[in-house]
Amino acid sequence: MAKIMIVEDDEALVKMLEMLFERMGHEVIGSLNGLDALYQVTYHQPDLIVLDLMMPWAAGDAVLGFIRSTQALKRIPVLVLSAHPNGAKIAHQLEADAYLPKPVDMRTLAEYVNRLLTSVSADSGS
């Protein structure tokens, strides 16, 4: 069981993602804004972060920049899930591990999550 953090300001989408990840057997931590996300990621140090770029109080790119510049957090895989017109480019520039555009297909999202968690397991096992 992995600990997955969802950073998303759309509460309905958060609920949908929580249900998906819990059905997959994972623990879920939710954060509805970027500022709270900075605290939550530091406190919980999740196994994977699903991050929106367009967030209130601190944008997702600022959150991702913080994660990648913090020694204790920088190895956490981040999946950017965003409707931002330059989302793929921003995700790549900030070294996100994967990017999916919104609206997202839940089956595709589940595959990406499994792939990222598997790569983390493989990296920690070597």
pTM, to two decimals: 0.92
Where in the chain are the domains?
Answer: 3-120
State the pLDDT at residue 126.
44
Longest dimension (CA), the chain: 38
Class for domain 3-120, per CATH? alpha beta
Structure tokens at 82: 């965003």
* Cα 58 to Cα 55: distance, rounded to the nearest angstrom: 6
Between 57 and 120, the more confident residue is 57
Encode pLDDT of 4-54 as tens digits: 999 999 999 999 999 999 999 999 999 999 899 999 999 999 999 999 998
Q: Are 34 and 7 contacting, i.e. CB atoms less than 8 angstroms apart?
A: yes
Structure tokens at 42: 């530091």
Structure tokens at 94: 């900030």
Encode pLDDT of 49-107 as tens digits: 999 998 878 788 889 999 999 999 999 999 999 998 999 999 999 899 999 999 999 99
> Which residue in the block uniquely carries the two structure tokens 């900075």?
38
* 3-state secondary structure at position 111: helix
SS3 content of the chain, % helix, strand, coil (to 5): 50, 20, 35
Q: Are 68 and 97 contacting, i.e. CB atoms less than 8 angstroms apart?
A: no
